[in-house]
Structure 1
Amino acid sequence: MELTERELTHPWEGVLIAPTLGADVGVLVLAGSSGRIERERARILAEQGFAALAIRWFGGPEQSPGICEIPLETFVDGVDLLRSGGARRIGILGTSKGAEAALLTAVHEPRVDVVIALSPTSRVWCNIGPGRDGEQLPYRSSWTWREQPLPFLPMDDSWTPPHTSGGPIAIRAWYELSERTLVHRLPPAEIPVERARADLLLVAGGDDAMWPSLPFAEELAQRRRSASAPVRLITRQDAGHRPRLPGESTASASSRFQYGGTPEADALLGAAAWPHILDMLGD
């Protein structure tokens, strides 16, 4: 299949990769806290006949340097671009904080037909990194909608990382502690996925060392089922935070964080999710 690749600089940096003859399905592809443009993932989706738009949604020109009060309208603009190119069915595929953004966008934007949330969270968390003012504290919401911050769960800074002799650390326990000690702030921060019109696919590994994405995904699935809303949940107990789709390169090791899982388990989780991704996008 012949593909066309278009570099974007406005309103955000990104790349749009699509079949030269056009596509009925458009997919917005969102990275997590790495902030990168997911070119490889977009290309793999485009090879399946989809128009794939991967964007830098923070850390770029005229954007917040960190994940702090990011307007959900950023992602609505991506939906607009895909629809203007002829896509009649819209999906958002996000990983980690990108999955958080995807779920919230679908709650607020009814034109989203499918959300594929890899290593998701079931609630809104505080900022990661500084906002436009350069400040990281006090904690603020990661997201806004119509210029209003969404209710969020902050981090409990009494947590101290385990001693790792300067090596990468697992921060899952930090999130788990914050949930326990700030439980009174949980209800308003929950992502109301039952309100989203979109179909929902959740993909999570039980060995995620960044945050407890499998319990989060199970909470999201239960919330959908309680509302008689469609949901699929794909899991592997031995996979970590970074499932890899067929054809993707192995995720690189980090000097800062432990992600859990193994390259083999992460690839198997992605392979298990892949037919569901294609089915739901192409429905």
Structure 2
Amino acid sequence: MKGSSCASSRAGMAAQVSVLPAPRCLFDDPVQILVAGLQPQQAVTLRASLVDESGELFQAHALYRAGSRGDLDLSRSPAVGGSYLGVEPMGLLWSLQSKTPYKRLAKRNVLTPFHVDIEVYDGHGDMSHLLGKCTNERWFLGEGVKRIPVREGRLKATLFLPPGDGPFPGLIDLYGSGGGLVEYRASLLASRGFVTLALAYMAFEDLPAMPEVLELSYFEEAVNFLRKQQQVKSTGIGVLGLSKGADLALSMATFLPGIKAAVSISGSSFNSFIPLQGGGFTIPAHPYDLKKMKTSDESGIVDFSDMPVDHRDPTTWDCRIPLERSLAKFLFLSGLDDRNWKSDLYCQDAVQRLQQHGREAEFCSYPGAGHLLEPPYLPLCQVSIHKVLGMFVYWGGQWREHAKAQEDAWHRIQAFFWQHLMDADMPRSKL
């Protein structure tokens, strides 16, 4: 990820576009976008373009006026129109949208970067006169990070190892009920100094799309595998999960030895969707009231947020995860515009139960944030196809608020794990 500025202009172009501190960076790195060589107060349009691995084009644009010296600095210059308004240094990234409705931007192959073309055009809205162009190469795998596929015992996973001998804090990373083996968050965490195991548990290879039951012993295999890695600090493992992966993280921290810290992202304090089977017990799935499912007549988008039976109803209490028994530390993150389920209420339930047992927990809720809280600068996905259910699902969220929530949550997650797994402050990036 070395370099000082972007090769910014072609012969004959009037403006120079640059990305600092380097044109190559990790995807979660903030950058400074500069434009020089404009006329004072010149009206210009900046456009970002990214083509994902399926060939889908994502774009964002913003209208600006150059300063008195003919330059622009997106960390200080306000956008006056377009995909966002005001001073938004990373707005061209987090506001990327596809013209195809309900497309989610996600990284399938972490061994390759996303290339973001940043162009500046003369005038507001008429993008016919290109003045300058630059490409920002954004990686999900830092220099020296190793990616190792894992097929040991029943495990379907990918291990990411930071460069060096360690010891490093060890993490298990779980995504939601859409299934598959999702690697891009785990690879970024490894790039920040965590040995990270991205773990699949449904809808991948021979794992069924909708299992009749999930076995706690499968997740115990993952914990034991990670603890055996020489680079992992021996004091305990962390686990983080999004959506269904979040309640699994809470269950792992409750029932499995060796889990020292757990992060729930847009999760539930109740076992969701699929019964969880442990040694001599089964936690049933939280019941749903199908009559409360809301569907848009025109688009067919499904809103699940009112479907779960009220968690205060005594008939749901055998679905609770008894996390108050755990000795682990907990961090709960939720968006107040989560339209998949009311994750904020579940977080409050978990925190209250912990406090009643003399325990502390960190909890942060974000106004305007939706369900899919991702690493920073990945754009908001309000609606997308649920791969297992085969229907369009409403996730919620407002663009600017969600982007700010992702930045804050990403910092909190890393600081939380550094504190409780290493008893140290979060290190600065060496990239």
Q: By the TM > 0.5 criterion, same fold? A: yes
Aligned amino acid, residue 258 of structure 2: R
Question: Which one of the candidate residues 406, 410, 416 is aligned to 1:280?
Answer: 416
Greater Cα offset, 20-29 or 105-114: 20-29
Question: Which one of the candidate residues 182, 190, 193 is aligned to 1:49?
Answer: 193
Q: 1:254 to 1:126 in 2, by over 3 A?
A: closer
Report whether the alignment pairs 1:265 with 2:401: yes
Structure 1 residue 219, shift from structure 2 partner = 1.0
Residue pairs, 1:152-191, within 5 angstroms: 152-175=285-308, 178-179=309-310, 183-191=313-321
Alpha-carbon distance in structure 2 between the residues aligned to 1:186 and 1:115: 23
Alpha-carbon distance in structure 2 between the residues aligned to 1:214 and 1:198: 21
Could you tell me which residue of structure 2 aligns to residue 197 of structure 1? 327
Alpha-carbon distance in structure 2 between the residues aligned to 1:186 and 1:267: 34
Question: Which one of the candidate residues 2, 6, 12 is aligned to 2:155?
Answer: 12
Structure 1 residue 110, shift from structure 2 partner = 2.8
Structure 1 residue 67, shift from structure 2 partner = 4.6
Q: 1:100 to 1:270 in 2, by over 3 A?
A: same
Alpha-carbon distance in structure 2 between the residues aligned to 1:92 and 1:271: 20
Q: Identity of paired residues, percent?
A: 23
Could you tell me which residue of structure 2 aligns to residue 101 of structure 1? 248
Structure 1 residue 151, shift from structure 2 partner = 3.5
Secondary structure of 2:161's aligned partner: strand
Alpha-carbon distance in structure 2 between the residues aligned to 1:67 and 1:281: 31
For the 8 Å contact 1:22–1:51, the answer to whether it is kept is no
Report whether the alignment pairs 1:150 with 2:297: no
Secondary structure of 1:92's aligned partner: strand
Structure 1 residue 234, shift from structure 2 partner = 1.3
For the 8 Å contact 1:201–1:231, the answer to whether it is kept is yes
For the 8 Å contact 1:110–1:198, the answer to whether it is kept is no
For the 8 Å contact 2:202–2:209, the answer to whether it is kept is yes
Structure 1 residue 2, shift from structure 2 partner = 1.6
Deviation track 1:108-157 (CA, whole Å, cap 9, x = no partner) reads: 01310110110011212343xxxxxxxxxxxxx2x111264213432223
Deviation track 1:190-212 (CA, whole Å, cap 9, x = no partner) reads: 22111111110000001000000
Structure 1 residue 61, shift from structure 2 partner = 4.0
Structure 1 residue 160, shift from structure 2 partner = 4.3
Aligned amino acid, residue 3 of structure 1: V
Could you tell me which residue of structure 2 aligns to residue 85 of structure 1? 229
Aligned amino acid, residue 197 of structure 2: L
Task: Say which structure, 1 or 2, has more relative contact order (CA 8 Å, 6+ apart).
Answer: 1
Structure 1 residue 168, shift from structure 2 partner = 1.6
Structure 1 residue 235, shift from structure 2 partner = 1.2
Deviation track 1:28-64 (CA, whole Å, cap 9, x = no partner) reads: 0000011132211011100111101101111234433
TM-score with structure 2 setting the length: 0.58
Aligned amino acid, residue 52 of structure 1: T
Structure 1 residue 171, shift from structure 2 partner = 0.9
For the 8 Å contact 2:181–2:198, the answer to whether it is kept is yes
TM-score with structure 1 setting the length: 0.86
Secondary structure of 2:294's aligned partner: coil
Aligned amino acid, residue 214 of structure 1: D
Q: How many residues align?
A: 266
Could you tell me which residue of structure 2 aligns to residue 212 of structure 1? 342
Could you tell me which residue of structure 1 aligns to residue 81 of structure 2? none
Alpha-carbon distance in structure 1 between the residues aligned to 2:337 and 2:184: 25
Question: Which one of the candidate residues 168, 182, 197 is aligned to 1:38?
Answer: 182
Secondary structure of 2:316's aligned partner: helix
Q: 1:252 to 1:214 in 2, by over 3 A?
A: closer
Greater Cα offset, 219-228 or 151-160: 151-160
Alpha-carbon distance in structure 1 between the residues aligned to 2:281 and 2:357: 27
Structure 1 residue 18, shift from structure 2 partner = 1.0
Report whether the alignment pairs 1:115 with 2:262: yes
As a proportion of its length, which structure holds more helix? 1
Aligned amino acid, residue 15 of structure 1: T
Larger Rg: 2
As a proportion of its length, which structure holds more strand? 2
Deviation track 1:157-197 (CA, whole Å, cap 9, x = no partner) reads: 3334244313322110112xx227x9231222222111111
Moved over 4 A (4+): 247-253
Aligned amino acid, residue 246 of structure 2: A
Greater Cα offset, 238-247 or 145-154: 145-154
